[in-house]
């Protein structure tokens, strides 16, 4: 996976930072004072809109003036303790020799009042430069704000953003039409980080799809941030903030989270864990709707945010979020629900699972249907899925058609194998079949004279038995390979699981 362009192209030097000249002059003047003693204000507060260059300034400054940055997050509970530790050791030795530490406290507008008092005390005692950053500086507790020199960052203009994007396009040696660059810059509303991420998404997804990606931008502006909180860290508290100020119902956010799980987690057990969390959330949401007890939303939200955030190891690097396919494809949600329910029922029946397990399994099947058409076809045959059901799981008409084609050839093979096996069995006597029909004498199944006009009761019975056996044989042949493991597990009294099936 490519490294995120926001990191790859983060300016290393102060002069590369676009359109924040005044702010940077102030920051440089302040840091220079540290080389001649301690400045009057030991802390700076960089205030301005997201993606305007605050964090970039801190790192470029540290790079030029040879500081080591200790980055702390104000919403992290352990921050206060860490600050104390670093302040006590203003200088430490590292392999480069003596390097001064610069403390960077991001999200200062998220500091709890109790923490604010302690941080204010620590600023008083500090022997290190402290830089804080906030989007809304008026929400930084006054106690801290008063101890810091405020440096304002401007919202970047569409022109600034376009310039920065073209620099990246040139460095990457790619072509992106000017109107798309202009559109990305316009939609970013001053946030260069968002614009760079959009540009990378558009390039990764192919320019032809650019308009689709951008069409979702208005919603994603917030839903992307929500997904970033859920998938961006293992911090449950941060993840729970995803629903804040989000102009969406939990049901809608659930679809987005659901869609993106397989792009974030890569180990099957982690994917299953994350799906487990959302299927529980789904149950709470359903219950809330049925009973009118919307207090249950809180549990649902916790499960689909924090529950998903801590599900496992996430992919590193740039991640593109995708809008839910169900939103794009199946406008008729009633129909969608009907299809979903019938798949769940089939899984419950064929795989001997509880509803919850079946929902979870269905989510895993979705990933398989999108990514491995061969396995998908086997599952489709095994579950006897209809066209709509295959389409639902594949999330794409074209893929569904391919899977359908593969199921037909599986059916053909099974039929052929069934005839061959039948012939063999007629010769040698089928062992597996014997087990299943052990009460019935074999001769009865072997020959029935269909030329006789008058059929005796006994013969009628025999014919029926033959039919039944033939059906059993068909079914057995179709499913034998796939259910063998499950059957064994059942015989041993173990619960059959999806993984028994997939290991086949």
Ligand X SMILES: Nc1ncnc2c1ncn2[C@@H]1O[C@H](COP(=O)(O)OP(=O)(O)OP(=O)(O)O)[C@@H](O)[C@H]1O
Binding-site annotation: residue ranges: 48-55
Q: What is the DSSP string of 310-322?
A: TSSPBPPS-----
Counting contacts by CB under 6 A, is residue 10 touching ligand X? yes
Looking at the Cβ atoms of 3 and 446, the one nearer to ligand X is 3
Q: Which of 30, 53, 220, 274 binds ligand X (CB under 6 A)?
A: 53
Question: C-beta of 364: minimal distance to ligand X in Å?
Answer: 35
What is the x/- site pattern for ligand X, positions 60-99, by CB under 6 A? ----------------------------------------
Please say whether the beta carbons of 77 and 28 come within 8 A: no
Q: Which of 83, 131, 188, 192 binds ligand X (CB under 6 A)?
A: 192
Q: Which of 50, 205, 232, 268 binds ligand X (CB under 6 A)?
A: 50
CA distance 45 to 42: 10
Residue 186's contacts (CB-CB under 8 Å, 6 or more residues apart) are: 158
Pairing of strands 148-152, 91-94: unpaired
Q: Which two tokens stand for residue 70?
A: 């200790």
Q: Which of 105, 51, 47, 100 has its CA nearest to residue 76?
A: 105
Looking at the Cβ atoms of 246 and 469, the one nearer to ligand X is 246
CA distance 41 to 276: 50
Counting contacts by CB under 6 A, is residue 54 touching ligand X? yes
Looking at the Cβ atoms of 54 and 187, the one nearer to ligand X is 54
- Which span sits near ligand X by CB under 6 A: 191-199, 265-273, 350-358, 426-434? 191-199
- Which span sits near ligand X by CB under 6 A: 9-17, 171-179, 267-275, 344-352? 9-17
* Closest residue to ligand X in the complex (CB): 53
How distant is the alpha carbon of residue 398 from its chain centre?
A: 23
Q: What is the DSSP string of 439-463?
A: TS-HHHHH---TT-SS--HHHHHHH
Please say whether the beta carbons of 384 and 346 come within 8 A: yes
Counting contacts by CB under 6 A, is residue 135 touching ligand X? yes
Counting contacts by CB under 6 A, is residue 52 touching ligand X? yes
Q: Which of 11, 39, 228, 386 binds ligand X (CB under 6 A)?
A: 11
Pairing of strands 91-94, 97-106: antiparallel
Please say whether the beta carbons of 20 and 52 come within 8 A: yes
Q: What is the CA radius of gyration of the chain?
A: 31
Q: What is the C-alpha end-to-end distance of the chain, expressed in Å? A: 30
Q: 232-261: which residues touch ligand X (CB under 6 A)?
A: none
**Residue 453 CA: distances (Å) to CA of 184, 448, 449, 456, 467:** 81, 12, 10, 10, 19
- Which span sits near ligand X by CB under 6 A: 47-55, 322-330, 339-347, 425-433? 47-55
Looking at the Cβ atoms of 49 and 268, the one nearer to ligand X is 49
Q: Which of 188, 182, 191 has its CA nearest to residue 163?
A: 182
Q: What is the DSSP string of 283-311?
A: HHHHHHHHH--TTHHHHHHHIIIIIHHTS
- Residue corresponding to tokens 């059942």: 490
Q: Which of 20, 79, 361, 407 binds ligand X (CB under 6 A)?
A: 20
CA distance 189 to 198: 12
Counting contacts by CB under 6 A, is residue 196 touching ligand X? yes
Judged by CB under 6 A, the number of residues near ligand X is 22
Binding residue ranges for ATP: 48-55
Q: Which two tokens stand for residue 297?
A: 């939303």
Looking at the Cβ atoms of 31 and 285, the one nearer to ligand X is 31
Q: Which of 111, 116, 164, 229 binds ligand X (CB under 6 A)?
A: 164
Question: C-beta of 108: minimal distance to ligand X in Å?
Answer: 10
Counting contacts by CB under 6 A, is residue 17 touching ligand X? yes
Q: Which of 6, 281, 351, 394 binds ligand X (CB under 6 A)?
A: 6
Looking at the Cβ atoms of 33 and 163, the one nearer to ligand X is 163
Question: C-beta of 26: minimal distance to ligand X in Å?
Answer: 15
Counting contacts by CB under 6 A, is residue 56 touching ligand X? yes
Counting contacts by CB under 6 A, is residue 168 touching ligand X? no
Residues that bind ligand X (CB under 6 A): 6, 9-11, 17-20, 50-56, 133, 135, 156, 164, 192-193, 196
């Amino acid at each position: 996976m490519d490294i995120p362009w926001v990191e790859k192209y983060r300016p290393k030097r102060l002069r590369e930072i676009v359109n924040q000249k005044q702010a940077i002059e102030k920051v440089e003047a302040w840091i220079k004072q540290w080389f001649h003693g301690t400045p009057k204000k030991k802390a700076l507060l960089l205030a301005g809109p997201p993606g305007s260059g605050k964090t970039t300034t801190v790192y470029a400054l540290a790079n030029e003036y040879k500081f080591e940055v200790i980055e702390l997050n104000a919403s992290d509970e352990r921050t206060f303790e860490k600050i104390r530790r670093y302040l006590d050791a203003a200088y430490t030795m590292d392999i480069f020799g003596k390097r001064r530490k610069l403390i960077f406290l991001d999200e200062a507008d998220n500091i709890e009042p109790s923490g604010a008092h302690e941080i204010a005390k620590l600023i008083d005692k500090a022997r290190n430069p402290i830089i804080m950053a906030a989007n809304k500086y008026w929400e930084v507790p006054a106690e801290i704000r008063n101890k810091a020199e405020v440096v304002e960052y401007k919202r970047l203009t569409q022109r600034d953003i376009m310039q920065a994007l073209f620099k990246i396009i040139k460095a990457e040696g790619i072509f992106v039409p000017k109107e798309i660059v202009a559109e990305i810059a316009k939609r970013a509303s001053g946030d260069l980080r968002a614009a760079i991420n959009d540009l990378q998404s558009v390039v990764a997804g192919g320019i032809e799809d650019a308009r689709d990606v951008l069409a979702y931008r208005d919603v994603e502006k917030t839903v992307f941030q929500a997904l970033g909180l859920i998938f961006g860290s293992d911090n449950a508290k941060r993840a729970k903030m995803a629903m804040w100020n989000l102009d969406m119902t939990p049901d809608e956010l659930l679809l987005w989270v659901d869609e993106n799980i397989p792009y974030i987690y890569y180990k099957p057990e982690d994917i299953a864990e994350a799906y487990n969390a959302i299927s529980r959330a789904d149950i709470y949401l359903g219950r809330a709707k049925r009973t009118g007890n919307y207090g249950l939303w809180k549990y649902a939200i916790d499960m689909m945010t924090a529950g998903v955030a801590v599900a496992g190891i996430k992919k590193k690097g740039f991640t593109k979020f995708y809008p839910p396919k169900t939103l794009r494809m199946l406008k008729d949600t009633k129909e969608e629900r009907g299809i979903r329910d019938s798949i769940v029922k089939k899984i419950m029946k064929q795989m001997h699972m509880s509803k919850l397990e079946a929902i979870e399994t269905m989510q895993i099947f979705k990933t398989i249907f999108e990514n491995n058409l061969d396995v998908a076809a086997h599952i489709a045959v095994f579950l006897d899925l209809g066209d709509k059901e295959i389409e639902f799981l594949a999330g794409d008409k074209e893929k569904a058609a391919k899977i359908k084609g593969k199921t037909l050839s599986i059916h053909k093979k099974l039929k052929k194998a069934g005839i061959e096996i039948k012939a063999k069995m007629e010769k040698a006597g089928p062992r597996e079949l014997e087990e299943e029909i052990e009460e019935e004498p074999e001769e009865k199944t072997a020959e029935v004279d269909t030329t006789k006009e008058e059929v005796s009761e006994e013969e009628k019975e025999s014919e029926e038995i033959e039919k039944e056996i033939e059906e059993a044989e068909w079914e057995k042949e179709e499913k034998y390979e796939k259910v063998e493991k499950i059957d064994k597990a059942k015989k041993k009294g173990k619960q059959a699981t999806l993984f028994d099936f997939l290991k086949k």
